Chain A
Amino acid sequence: AQSVSQHNHHVILSEAASLELGCNYSYGGTVNLFWYVQYPGQHLQLLLKYFSGDPLVKGIKGFEAEFIKSKFSFNLRKPSVQWSDTAEYFCAVKIGGGSYIPTFGRGTSLIVHP
């Protein structure tokens, strides 16, 4: 079974700082990749996803992620964070074309100071 690792459990940044959250997975075949965001007190919602094509994926609110197959990684980035980006971020991986069940990472808590 695939596993998903998010190495940063807690990240604290000041506004305007750049963000990169790491995500690595263990499956060697075709994968579909997701980043979900959970704002304080809210449910998880999709931030961006990768299925095929351009490995650099643009999401909502200025977020992007890059799929690097050779590194089994799908890191999330944002050039300049805002206070409103304070949230929990989850990486998820699904085996492409097969199971509909994604595996979620442990999550990274991001706090942005104004």
Chain B
Amino acid sequence: DAGVIQSPRHEVTEMGQEVTLRCKPISGHDYLFWYRQTMMRGLELLIYFNNNVPIDDSGMPEDRFSAKMPNASFSTLKIQPSEPRDSAVYFCASSLADWGHTGELFFGEGSRLTVL
């Protein structure tokens, strides 16, 4: 089975540019999460979706960040305009709301963003 697929794996961009990160969750999973990982803050939950609907975006740091999930197999996280402090590894994860309520998250490989 294919896991959670993220692209790009690495992105280097200049301050002010738009950045779009992409995620394909595991087929059949109901939940999709976007996390940001930095040395200073650790793993932060930015936003999560349930059945393609954004449920909680309280972790999105600023209006420069936006996320969409147009269908069950695709989500994007956009930063516009990007700033050097946005440099981090961004992880997408998905989860299945099964009857066991297991809550196990399956993570993608991450997108390492460097904003110069």
Write the residues of chain A forming the contact surface with B, with a CB cutoff of 8 angstroms: 32, 34, 36, 42-46, 49, 51, 90, 92, 94, 96-98, 100-102, 104, 106-107
* List of 7 A-B pairs having minimum Cβ-Cβ separation, nearest first: A94-B103, A43-B107, A44-B107, A106-B42, A43-B109, A104-B43, A100-B103
Once A100-B97, A104-B43 are accepted as A-B contacts, the answer to whether A43 and B105 lie under 8 Å apart by CB is no
Interface positions of B from 7 to 57, Cβ below 8 Å from A: 30-31, 33, 42-43, 45, 48, 50, 56
Q: Are B107 and A100 in touch, CB under 8 angstroms?
A: no
- What total of A-B pairs shows CB separation below 8 Å? 53
B95 contacts chain A at the CB level, 8 A cutoff: yes
Q: Which residues of B contact A (CB under 8 A)?
A: 30-31, 33, 42-43, 45, 48, 50, 56, 91, 93, 95, 97, 100-105, 107-110
List A contacts of B105 (CB < 8 A).
Answer: 36, 44, 46, 92, 102
Chain B residues within an 8 Å CB radius of A101: 31, 33, 45, 48, 56, 103
Among A43, A46, A90, A106, which residue has its beta carbon within 8 angstroms of that of B104? A46
Contact present for B43 and A100 (CB under 8 Å): no
Excluding A45-B107, A97-B101, A104-B43, 7 further A-B contacts by CB distance (< 8 Å) are A43-B107, A44-B91, A96-B101, A98-B101, A100-B103, A101-B56, A106-B42
In the assembled complex, 20 residue pairs joining A and B whose CB atoms fall closer than 8 Å, in A order, are A32-B101, A32-B103, A42-B109, A43-B91, A43-B110, A44-B91, A44-B93, A44-B107, A51-B100, A90-B43, A94-B103, A97-B101, A98-B101, A100-B101, A100-B103, A101-B56, A101-B103, A104-B42, A106-B42, A107-B43
The residue from A43, A51, A100 contacting B95, defined by CB atoms under 8 A apart: A100
The CA of A47 and the CA of B45, in the complex, are separated in Å by: 20
Chain B residue contacts of A94, Cβ below 8 A: 101, 103
In the complex with contacts A43-B91, A51-B100, A100-B109 CB distance below 8 A: no
Chain A residue at minimum C-beta to C-beta distance from B91: A43
Closest to A106 in B: B42
Set of chain A residues within 8 Å of B50, measured between Cβ atoms: 100
Closest-CB distance, A32 to chain B (whole angstroms): 5
